Chain A
Amino acid sequence: MPYSPHMSRNNFVKVVIGFLGSIMGAIIGIPSVFYLISPALKKHEAEATIPLGSLENFPIGTPTLFTFTRTNVNGWERTVNSYGIYVYRKTEKVDDINVFSNICTHLSCRVTWDESIQNYVCPCHAGYFDIDGEVVSGPPPRPLDQFETQVEDGNLAIIFKEV
């Protein structure tokens, strides 16, 4: 083949195919990634006020379990999650209330209050928290999570935040 300053037909076709192929690949590939990850990017509305009822239901000095459910729409179905919280009234004062999530800060098992040893106990990996939610022993990296409380007309409520 004699020397030509122009691109050969063969190379031209290769470049065009490579170029168009990359564009088509991107047009298909990028939406595909979004298709796969988009449910992961959705956030539920963050806050809700959960009424817990009259303060009198919660004795002073002993953490008391309260359970409630929250419904989320995930894809094509409604998922009902149950939550447990421990209400601990230290004194008569309405601002002296601690409300703990019963979700262990280690790997999300549920802790229970053990009256005999005055600790919250996580059954999964032997995590122990004291009555104020502080870690006593075991693997949990931080104290139990707490919720903000509200008292109106003798009724207790918490500000629940979806994690």
Chain B
Amino acid sequence: MTEKIFSWLDERLGLQTLYETILDRKVPKVNWWFTLGSASLVLFLIQGLTGIFLSVYYVPSPETAYDSVQFIMNGVQFGWLIRGIHHWGASLMVIFVFAHMLRTYFYAAYKFPRELTWITGVILLLSTLGMGFTGYLLPWNQKSYWATTVGTEIAGTAPFIGDFIIRVLRGGADLSAVTLTRFFSVHIWFLPAIIAATIGVHLYLIIRLGIAGVPDKED
């Protein structure tokens, strides 16, 4: 029965071909450092999932942001777990994405024909840092408030356009309710959309070009 259903679906979706192309593709002999990309992907999926769950209770306004986070931590069963995973997963994701970049760099895996994989990787790394920066403000506690004050202030030290940048980031001169909602929006819509789309291109390139092996003395 399952075989019948599978072959019916396979005939229409080409599942067997997908499986062979994506999971059964030939790879050179590699080591554990080559798992960092998959680990980053898994972390992104976990962050997405726990983030969706957090959005059930979180309200991005100065009156409610802090209280709704407290409610998640103390008032909802396993809220501490969902937020804890999101919190630690965020730090882990930055570490893993960064280590993935270092591995690619030191193995010189960014060279022809994989330049585009590298470039999309750079977009992914920067977006991940952006997720960290915008997500940090959302609990709206003292630490996040002042961290974002300092962070936007640093962006404002850019010559000539610094003041403009700071106003764009904050949505005005002050760190306010407007800042909170735009950080929230960037955190849950803009950056995740960019990351998801870029991951798609990144993975397509990896499947199309194959991965580079560990370089030896000749390389």
* A38 and B64 contact, Cβ closer than 8 Å, known pairs A31-B82, A32-B53: no
Cβ of A66 within 8 Å of any chain B Cβ, yes or no, is no
Using a Cβ–Cβ cut-off of 8 Å, how many residues does chain B contribute to the interface with A? 16
8 A Cβ contacts from B43-68 to A: 53, 56-57, 59, 64, 67-68
A67 → chain B closest CB, angstroms = 28
Complex Cα distance, B82 from A139, in Å, reads: 45
A26 → chain B closest CB, angstroms = 13
Which of B57, B78, B82 is close to A75, meaning CB atoms less than 8 Å apart?
Answer: B57
Interface stretch, picked from B7-15, B69-77, B167-175, is B69-77
* A38 and B77 contact, Cβ closer than 8 Å, known pairs A31-B82, A75-B57: yes
Residues in B whose Cβ lies below 8 Å from that of A75: 57, 68, 71, 75
* A31 and B67 contact, Cβ closer than 8 Å, known pairs A36-B56, A75-B57, A76-B59: no
* A38 and B70 contact, Cβ closer than 8 Å, known pairs A75-B57, A77-B64: no
A110 → chain B closest CB, angstroms = 29
Complex Cα distance, B49 from A32, in Å, reads: 10
Complex Cα distance, B67 from A27, in Å, reads: 27
Cβ of A34 within 8 Å of any chain B Cβ, yes or no, is yes
Q: Is the pair B53, A76 in contact by a Cβ cutoff of 8 Å?
A: no
Q: Is the interface of B mostly helix, strand, loop or mixed?
A: helix
Cβ of A3 within 8 Å of any chain B Cβ, yes or no, is no
Complex Cα distance, B72 from A34, in Å, reads: 12
Q: Is the pair B81, A31 in contact by a Cβ cutoff of 8 Å?
A: yes
* A35 and B78 contact, Cβ closer than 8 Å, known pairs A75-B57, A76-B70: yes
Residues in B whose Cβ lies below 8 Å from that of A39: 75-76
Residues in B whose Cβ lies below 8 Å from that of A31: 77-78, 81-82
Name, among A31, A75, A76, A77, the residue most crowded by chain B CB atoms within 10 Å (CB to CB).
A76
Complex Cα distance, B76 from A75, in Å, reads: 9
Complex Cα distance, B64 from A92, in Å, reads: 51
Cβ of B79 within 8 Å of any chain A Cβ, yes or no, is yes
* A35 and B53 contact, Cβ closer than 8 Å, known pairs A75-B68, A76-B68: yes
Complex Cα distance, B88 from A54, in Å, reads: 60
Residues in A whose Cβ lies below 8 Å from that of B76: 35, 38-39
B109 → chain A closest CB, angstroms = 27
Complex Cα distance, B66 from A75, in Å, reads: 12
By beta carbon, the residue of chain B nearest A34 is B77
Residues in B whose Cβ lies below 8 Å from that of A77: 64, 67
Complex Cα distance, B56 from A75, in Å, reads: 12
A35 → chain B closest CB, angstroms = 5
A residues within 8 Å of B by Cβ? 31-32, 34-36, 38-39, 75-77
- 24 of the cross-chain contacts (CB-CB < 8 Å) are A31-B77, A31-B81, A31-B82, A32-B53, A32-B78, A32-B82, A34-B77, A34-B78, A35-B56, A35-B77, A35-B79, A35-B82, A36-B53, A36-B56, A38-B76, A38-B78, A39-B76, A75-B57, A75-B71, A75-B75, A76-B68, A76-B70, A76-B71, A77-B64
| Interface pairs A-B: 3 shortest CB-CB | A31-B78, A76-B67, A38-B77
